[in-house]
């Protein structure tokens, strides 16, 4: 059998000479902001009290005025300018509020001070970058392009973060509360009804599939609550229901009864520092005070005053930052968890728990997707549209809670059948309800994880995510070093570590795998670079073309079987230019897949269409049809096998391939199909025709195959001497060709022939020799056949224990190879052993199994063998009438297929059954 592009950055396609002006609407808005900033900058009294105000106002003002002076990359800077104007607008409001209430620097909330300090530092850097764009000329604008655009993206991202905080009204609400506190003195222990209402969690109305996790958390909370308050982290990917589970904990009857109103839920998704976290905690406890020390003292007093339970939701936002910020956040959490009066619950994306806190053991495992039943319950609770299409949608999204919730809500308007059609086109693109929010848009939720601090700090992680998204079966741990060699520039081990930390991949068995939803999203977004994609394609097409009889190649092909198939499907749909190489690889891979029990014909079917569309060489089409026929034969679809082989022969007859080795090979395999269909005369005729033609081909392998086929027929017809001679000659030719698989087949069939000839010692040696060659060829199916042959030999030698063990081993291998006919033979052999041992119940069950498997393989002759065995069991039970009926069915089959040996053998038992019935009647 023949042996078996880099994605540019999103800014990379922008014309560096672009000079498209910022829109008039934006210019008007920026002009208004400039006026306000100029006024704010002149407030000298405020500038003296709060040193950030005047410098920041001045830098923003200067940057905005430079927008018309930028010579290159104006379009990119325009987007940054618009965001900067928005920041400036909110900043003016902050400054005016500070001025109106005569605030000083030490009276600012720590979260606001942190943001203003960072903003000033970032704006200084942006001012320098802008100046470079003003000054750059000629070739420099090309040479500096990458660096400048990187800085543009960097400042665009930083301004987005600032806006996210501002737009969440965090700063303004803190200032408002601070001003109110200055006017009204409130004792730290007093809490307003409003704060209490905000901090009090709400009971989830739709909660299915997390009962086990809920019970575990409740147990952890109350096991040592008096001496060791629980510290529990609810981890997992985005959209898996961490927040819902946390709310279910806080509203659990037992928790409500024990903690009462001392239950606090603090959302952290808009918090990016320990200072901001401290302020949010103080707000939730109703003890907000200016200054970090005073705030902590008030927080401490509130927390130790009474036992309470505190949930920090989306804790990854403040924690997953630069090392200094992460350290300070972990330190604050440690200060909270060291208090003996507080039970702490956090929810976090990922699989890593923050350091410096002793988490309650055993740790709660990261949340997985839901069961089918729970997913169905959620859908039905939201919508009454559950049907077959809804079932397919649940399966497609692999029961991710957020995806189910969104689909069920969408189905209130759009029928599931139409949603399914949309899913097939857009996949994750439909999993949203119109807003860029993590609870309303699955793609937005995934992007949040991809944009996390840990991912940004390790560029290899995102590249590796793109690679893994191309592999539906993931990456086996044994293949990590191989992929590092293939991909070259990806830090494999650190990338895998970060992806696991961020819950973007999981370890399933021994494989690193992405979740299907994440895989769809990454493929849609084009995370895979063209260079990595080309490397993967080359690896898999080479692997598919490998000679899988070599042990190393075979082991690797088994590990990569599903990924290889997916890649080959993809190559058929792509513009891959090496048509002949691709088709040859698929033919080789289809043969390999049969050896591991996969008989799906979708790949070879699409390959035939591909060859026809590309007007490929006729020999390629013949070989595809040939392999398709083999696949059908081994899967038990005999009519399908016959049709494909006949199509292949017709193509040979009508082309230049008539009477060639390829034509002879097709005839040989057509003979095998006839033989499997018990059409022995047709098989013999085809083998003889092939044998005549092979004389003109000079191909020893083809000649050996034809002689092997004739040997099979001679044996079935009871011409054992002719069978022996034919098989010995076939073996000589296959030895000359040095084909391990063919030599193993010859020895196996010789073994069966010697068993029929009662040359049992020679038979045993042949089967052992066959087993050696089939192990060398890594052919599981034929190893099963060898063990079955040994079972037959040991049965003839009345070594029934060895026979039973051999049949059981054969059955195990044939199950692995998913071969119905082989399993039928194995059960039949076991039945005959149990019959000899007079274990009639086991014999009965074995023969019944044999009938079922022979039926699945469409082998009437095999069913005849098993019916004979059942007849003999009934004879042993003295059920002669039933035995006669069973043996008559067997006799009809043997006569119909014209098998003289079994016709004679079965007739003896049938005569005996009739005789026994006659004696009973006479009595």
Dihedral sign from CA coordinates of 280, 285, 290, 295: negative
Contact 501, 455 (CB under 8 A): no
State yes or no: cis peptide before 868, omega within 30 of 0.
no
CA distance 648 to 882: 46
The pLDDT score that the predictor gives to residue 292 is 44
| Per-residue tokens: 760 | 């049992």
Residue 854 to residue 782: CA distance in whole angstroms:
18
Give which of 596, 666, 677, 602 is closest to 633, Cα–Cα: 677
Q: For residue 111, give the nearest of 358, 279, 238 by alpha carbon.
A: 279
Separation of alpha carbons 274 and 272, rounded Å: 7
Instruction: Give the three-class secondary structure for 323.
Output: helix
With a cut of 70, list the residues of the chain below it in pLDDT: 1-37, 39-49, 51, 66-77, 79, 96-97, 99-115, 124-125, 127-200, 288-295, 435, 548-552, 694-698, 919-923
Residue 801: count other Cβ atoms within 10 Å of its Cβ. Answer: 10
User: Would you call 558 exposed, middle or buried from its count of C-beta atoms within 10 A (0-12, 13-18, 19+)?
Assistant: middle
Instruction: Identify whether the C-beta of residue 778 lies closer than 8 Å to the C-beta of residue 816.
Output: no
pLDDT at 219: 94
In 3D space, the residue among 763, 782, 693, 773 whose CA is nearest the CA of residue 740 turns out to be: 773
What is the distance between the alpha carbons of residues 117 and 424, in angstroms, rounded to a whole number? Answer: 49
Side-chain half-sphere of 567: how many Cα atoms within 13 Å? Answer: 28
Helix axes 442-450, 401-410, angle to 10 degrees: 150
Beta bridge partners of 228: none
- Give whole-number Cα distances, 413 to 156, 416, 446, 876, in Å: 37, 9, 25, 68
Residues 6 or more apart from 413 whose CB is under 8 A from it? Answer: none
Q: What is the CA radius of gyration of the chain?
A: 38
Which uninterrupted H or E stretch holds 231?
strand 231-236
pTM score, whole prediction: 0.62
Whole-angstrom Cα distance, residue 472 to residue 131? 48
CA torsion, ordered 402, 408, 409, 410, to nearest 10 deg: 110
Given this model, what pLDDT does residue 15 score?
33
């Amino acid at each position: 059998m023949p042996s078996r592009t880099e994605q540019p950055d999103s800014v990379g396609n922008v014309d560096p000479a672009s000079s498209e002006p910022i829109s008039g609407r934006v210019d008007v808005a920026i002009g208004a902001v400039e006026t306000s900033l100029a006024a704010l900058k002149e407030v000298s009294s405020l500038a003296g009290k709060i040193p950030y105000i005047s410098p920041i106002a001045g830098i923003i003002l200067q940057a905005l005025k430079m927008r018309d002076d930028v010579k290159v990359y104006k379009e990119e800077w325009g987007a940054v300018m618009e965001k900067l104007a928005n920041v400036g607008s909110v900043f003016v409001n902050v400054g005016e509020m500070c001025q109106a209430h005569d605030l000083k620097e030490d009276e600012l909330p720590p979260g606001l001070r942190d943001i203003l300090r960072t903003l000033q530092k970032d704006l200084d850097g942006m001012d320098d970058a802008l100046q470079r764009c003003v000054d750059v000329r000629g070739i420099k604008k090309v040479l500096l392009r990458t660096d400048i655009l990187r800085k543009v993206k960097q400042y665009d991202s930083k301004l987005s973060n600032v806006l996210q905080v501002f737009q969440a009204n965090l700063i303004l609400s803190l200032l408002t509360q601070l001003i109110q506190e200055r006017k009204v003195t409130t004792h730290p222990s007093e809490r307003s009804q409003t704060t209490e209402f905000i901090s009090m969690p709400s009971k989830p109305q739709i909660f299915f599939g997390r009962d086990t996790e809920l019970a575990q958390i409740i147990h952890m909370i109350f096991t040592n609550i008096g001496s060791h308050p629980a510290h529990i982290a609810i981890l997992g990917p985005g959209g898996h229901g961490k927040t819902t589970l946390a709310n279910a904990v806080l509203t659990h009857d037992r928790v409500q009864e024990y903690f009462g109103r001392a239950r606090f839920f603090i959302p952290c998704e808009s918090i990016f520092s320990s200072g901001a976290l401290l302020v949010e905690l103080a707000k939730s406890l109703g003890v907000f005070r200016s200054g970090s020390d005073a705030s902590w003292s008030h927080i401490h007093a509130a927390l130790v005053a009474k036992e309470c339970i505190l949930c920090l939701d989306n804790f990854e936002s403040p924690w997953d930052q630069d090392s200094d910020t992460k350290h300070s956040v972990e330190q604050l959490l440690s200060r909270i968890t060291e208090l003996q009066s507080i039970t702490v619950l956090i929810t976090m994306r990922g699989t890593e728990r923050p350091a410096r806190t002793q988490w309650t053991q055993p740790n709660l495992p990261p949340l997985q997707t839901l069961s089918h039943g729970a997913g169905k319950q959620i859908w039905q609770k939201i919508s009454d549209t559950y049907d077959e299409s809804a079932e397919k949608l649940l399966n497609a999204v692999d029961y991710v809670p957020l995806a189910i919730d969104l689909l069920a809500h969408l189905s209130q308007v759009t029928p599931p059948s139409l949603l399914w059609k949309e899913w097939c086109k857009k996949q994750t693109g439909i999993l949203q309800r119109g807003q860029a929010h993590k609870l309303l848009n699955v793609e937005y939720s995934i992007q949040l994880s991809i944009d996390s601090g840990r991912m940004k700090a390790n560029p290899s992680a995102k590249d590796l995510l793109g690679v893994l998204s191309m592999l539906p079966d993931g990456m086996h741990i044994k293949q990590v070093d191989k992929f590092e060699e293939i991909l070259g520039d990806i830090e494999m081990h650190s990338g895998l570590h970060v992806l696991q930390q961020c819950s973007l991949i999981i370890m399933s068995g021994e494989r690193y795998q992405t979740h299907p939803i994440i895989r769809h999203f990454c493929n849609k977004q084009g995370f895979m670079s063209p260079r990595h994609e080309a490397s993967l394609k080359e690896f898999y097409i080479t692997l598919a073309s490998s000679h899988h009889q070599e042990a190393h190649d075979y082991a690797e092909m088994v590990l990569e079987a599903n990924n290889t198939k997916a890649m080959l499907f993809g190559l058929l749909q792509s513009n891959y230019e090496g048509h002949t190489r691709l088709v040859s690889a698929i033919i080789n891979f289809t043969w390999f897949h049969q050896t591991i029990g996969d008989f799906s014909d979708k790949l070879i079917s699409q390959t035939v269409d591909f060859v026809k569309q590309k007007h490929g060489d006729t020999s390629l089409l013949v070989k595809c049809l040939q392999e398709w026929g083999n696949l059908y034969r081994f899967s038990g679809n005999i009519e399908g096998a016959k049709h494909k082989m006949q199509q292949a022969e017709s193509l040979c007859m009508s082309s230049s391939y008539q009477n060639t080795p390829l034509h002879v090979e097709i005839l040989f395999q057509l003979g095998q199909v006839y033989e499997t269909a018990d059409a022995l005369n047709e098989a013999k005729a085809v083998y003889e025709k092939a044998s005549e033609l092979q004389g003109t081909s000079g191909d020893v392998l083809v000649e050996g195959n034809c002689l092997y086929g004739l040997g099979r027929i001679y044996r079935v017809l009871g011409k054992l001497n002719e069978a022996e001679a034919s098989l010995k000659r076939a073996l000589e030719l296959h030895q000359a060709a040095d084909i391990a698989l063919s030599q193993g087949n010859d020895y196996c069939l010789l073994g069966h022939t010697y068993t029929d000839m009662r040359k049992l010692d020679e038979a045993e040696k042949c089967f052992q020799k066959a087993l050696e060659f089939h192990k060398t060829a890594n052919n599981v199916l034929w190893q099963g056949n060898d063990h079955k042959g040994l079972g037959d030999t040991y049965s003839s030698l009345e070594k029934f224990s060895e026979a039973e063990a051999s049949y059981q081993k054969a059955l195990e291998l044939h199950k692995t190879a998913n071969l119905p006919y082989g399993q039928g033979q194995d059960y039949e052999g076991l039945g005959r052993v149990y019959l000899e041992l007079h274990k009639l119940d086991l014999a009965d069950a074995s023969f019944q199994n044999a009938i079922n498997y022979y039926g699945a393989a469409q082998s009437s002759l095999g069913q005849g063998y098993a019916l004979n065995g059942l007849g003999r069991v009934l004879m042993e039970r003295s059920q002669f009438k039933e035995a006669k009926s069973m043996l008559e069915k067997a006799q009809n089959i043997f006569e119909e297929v014209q098998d003289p040996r079994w016709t004679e053998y079965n007739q003896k038992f049938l005569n005996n059954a009739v005789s026994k019935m006659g004696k009973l009647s006479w009595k």
